[in-house]
Structure 1
Amino acid sequence: MEKEQEIKMLKAFSDANSTSGFEGEFVKLFTETVKDFANIKVDGMLNAYASKKENKAGRPVIQLDAHSDSVGFITQAVRPNGMIKFVPLGGWVKYNIPALRVRIKNRDGEYIPGVVATKPPHFMTEAERNNVPDVADMSIDVGSSSREETLNDYKIDTGCPIFVDVKCEYNEKSGLFFGKDFDDRFGAAAMADVLETLDGEETPFNVVAALSSQEEVGLRGAYVTARTVKPDLGIVLESCPADDTFTPDWLSQTALKHGPMMRDMDTSFLPNPKFQQYACDVADKNHIPYTRSVRTGGGQDGAAIYYENGAPTIVIGIPVRYEHSPYCFSAYQDFKAAVEMTVAIIRDLTTEKLASFSQF
């Protein structure tokens, strides 16, 4: 894919409205992007399966994975004054939520702009100025003045999804994207790019790119995709939190413009060590930069894929500053290196090398 096309795709993917349980808009965008070089299926959970058109029966299967959802919110109830009480979908910290601009998809499918309301400082007590309220005490204002107006005129009620409303930008000079939901839209874009790069190419493996739903609320979609695909090998393309703005250089393991992050550990996952080292060796041979990371927090779809079938699985992460917040930075060169590493692994892999990952 040409750079201009990639940038356009990454911006469109970031701008899409897609939170856990409400991934339809992005699933449609992703499947439209890859339909010319993959066979598409979508299940009732909105997991999408994009199978390489050259796949043939009887060959081992590589499952690529990225997830379609991002952190967001859902309407819990409408307060008497018309304000919306909401619940987070995924891992938010309360400090990142006040004054956030959002879009609420109402019962008619229309997007209503709103803001996480904050009391003007003129009316705050000293205690209020120095504390962030709990999420349960926050509200979203759409301009309504009563519960009836929100319910009947704005048509917003319990269950309506709420999305972060931020437009993605790309700075050609710095090579950085600035926007929302890079976790995991950039992983999904990398997966689409890999499929297009391999289009028309024969490999000894079948390749199925699974876009899984509901990762942010418990890796739910990936358990389903792994049972469906039954992979012999898993490669997860994840956008991962960068640590380079608050960690000393000697300890930083996920930095912008240092290449993708190969995850050696998180709270849910330890990769197959032979596959992990093989992937790093392939990257070294092809002069693709990367870092390795041992994390004491976080989790991702690799755990579900690995647990479900025992297939050797690795995670190739694209560094993102300020993940799970409304505003993120990510570098084009890290995205591109993740694509190149994935393609290099698929092209280099043989059935003998696959078998070696299970030997001890």
Structure 2
Amino acid sequence: MKKKQEIQMLKDFSNANAISGFEGEFVKLFTDKVKKLADVTVDGMLNVYAAKKENTGNRPVIQLDAHSDAVGFMTQAVRPNGAIKFVPVGGWVKYNIPGTKVKIRNKAGKYIPGVVATKPPHFMTKAEQESIPEIKDMSIDVGSSSREETLNDYQIDTGCPIFVDVDCQYNEDTGIFFGKDFDDRFGAAAMVSILDNLKDKKTNFDVVCALSSQEEVGLRGAYVTARKIKPDLALVLESCPADDTFEPDWLSQTGLKRGPMLRDMDTTFIPNPKFQQYACDLADKKHIPYTRSVRTGGGQDGAAIYYENGAPTIVIGIPVRYEHSPYCFSAYQDFKASVDLACAIINDITQEKLDSFKRF
């Protein structure tokens, strides 16, 4: 796939509206991209299975994983003044929410613009100026002046999903993207590019890409996809939080333009160490930049896939600044290096090497 096509795909993927449980818009976009490269099926949870067309069905299977959902919000109730009381979907902190521009999909399927309301400083007490309200006390304003207007004219009620509304931009001079939901739309785009790079090429293993739903609320889709695919090996293409703007150089383990992050630990996952080292050695051999990280927070689909049947699993992370906020930065060259590393592994892996990951 040409660079220009990849950049446009990344922008389109970022702009799609898809939070946990409401992944349909992005699932359609993704399946349209891969249907010429793979045999595609979708289950009732909106997990997507894209099997490389050259698969034979009688070889070991590599599962590639990325997730389709992003963090967002959901309408809980409509207040008497017409403002919307909401709950977070996925891992938000209150500091990142006030003033966020959003869009709400109403009961008719129409997107209604809104904003997480903030009180003007003119009306704040000194205590209010120095604090941030709890999420349960925040509201989204869509321009309504009464509960009845919101319910009837705007057709917004309990259960309507709420999406961050930020348009993705790409700076040709710096190679940097700015936008929303890079977690994990960039991982999903990586799977498309990997399938495109492998088109008409022979591999030693069958390859099945899984676009998993509901990762942000408990890795739910990945448990289902791993159970169905039964992989012998798994590569998780995850967008991972960069720490290069707040950690000292000696401690920073993930940063823009430093290549993908290979995760040695998080709160849910420790990879197969021999597979992890193999990936690092292969990256060194191919001159693909990467970093390694030990995390004291976070989790991702690799845990669910690994737990389900013990297939050796690693995470190839695309660095993203300010993950789980409305506004993110990511570098094209990190995306490309992640694709290159995944393709190198798929092209190099053999049964003998897979068996070596299981020896002790």
Q: What's the TM-score, normalizing by structure 1?
A: 1.00
Q: Deviations over 1:221-274 (max 9, x none)?
A: 000000010000010000000000011111110010000000000000000000
Q: Unpaired segments of 5 or more residues in structure 1?
A: none
For 1:149, the aligned partner's letter is E
Question: How far is 1:202 from its partner?
Answer: 1.3
Q: Is 1:321 matched with 2:321?
A: yes
Give SS of 2:228's match.
Answer: helix
Distance 1:196 1:65 in 2: 16
Structure 2 SS opposite 1:191: helix
User: Aligned equivalents of 1:359 and 1:245: distance in 2?
Assistant: 40
Q: How many residues align?
A: 360
RMSD between aligned residues: 0.5
> Are residues 1:271 and 2:282 paired?
no
Alpha-carbon distance between aligned partners in 1 of 2:351 and 2:214, rounded to the nearest angstrom? 32
Q: Deviations over 1:67-92 (max 9, x none)?
A: 00010000000011110000000010
Deviates more, 1:286-295 or 1:119-128: 119-128
Deviations 1:163-215 (A, max 9, x none): 00000000011110000000000000001100111011111111000000000
AA aligned to 2:317 is G
Cα distance in structure 2, aligned partners of 1:112 and 1:70: 19
* Mapped pair 1:262 → 2:262: yes
Give me the whole-angstrom Cα distance separating, in 1, the residues matched to 2:274 and 2:119.
Answer: 55
Letter in 2 for 1:79: R
Aligned mates of 2:57, 2:111 — CA distance in 1:
44
Kindly indicate whether residue 20 of structure 2 is the aligned counterpart of residue 20 of structure 1. yes
1:85 aligned to 2:102?
Answer: no
Quick one: distance in 2 between partners of 1:289 and 1:100? 35
Aligned to 1:146: 146
What is the aligned partner in structure 1 of residue 120 from structure 2?
A: 120
Partner of 1:58: 58
Aligned equivalents of 1:40 and 1:111: distance in 2?
29
What is the letter of the counterpart of residue 63 of structure 1?
Q
Question: Within 2, Cα distance between the matches of 1:233 and 1:40?
Answer: 20
Q: Deviations over 1:126-150 (max 9, x none)?
A: 1111110000000000001111111
Q: What amino acid is aligned across from residue 114 of structure 2 in structure 1?
A: G
Alpha-carbon distance in 2 for matches of 1:311, 1:257: 30
1:251 maps onto 2:251 in alignment: yes
What is the CA-CA distance between 1:57 and the residue it aligns to? 1.7
For residue 43 of structure 2, what is the aligned residue in structure 1? 43
Distance (Å, rounded) in 2 between the aligned partners of 1:209 and 1:179:
25
Instruction: Supply the distance in 2 between the matched residues of 1:57 and 1:39 (Cα, whole angstroms).
Output: 12
Give the alignment of 1:1-360 within 5 angstroms.
1-360=1-360
Q: After superposition, give the CA deviation of every residue in 1:332-355 in whole Å (9 maximum; x if it has no partner).
A: 000000000000000000011011
Distance, in Å, in 2 between the alignment partners of 1:4 and 1:239 is 21
Q: Which amino acid aligns with 1:75?
A: T
Alignment partners' CA distance in 2, 1:280 and 1:170: 29
SS of residue matched to 2:323: coil
The runs of at least 4 consecutive aligned structure 1 residues that moved more than 4 Å come to none
Query: Between the two proteins, what is the percent identity of the paired residues?
Result: 78
Q: How many Å separate the matches in 2 of 1:111 and 1:232? A: 42
Structure 2 unmatched runs, 5+: none
2:221 partner SS: helix
Counterpart residue type for residue 262 of structure 1: L
> Which amino acid is 2:312 matched to?
P
Task: Give CA-to-partner distance per residue, 1:98-143, whole Å, 9 cap, x none.
Answer: 0110000000110000000111111111111111000000000000
Q: Distance in 1 between matches of 2:304 and 2:264?
A: 16
Partner-residue secondary structure (3-state), 1:58: coil
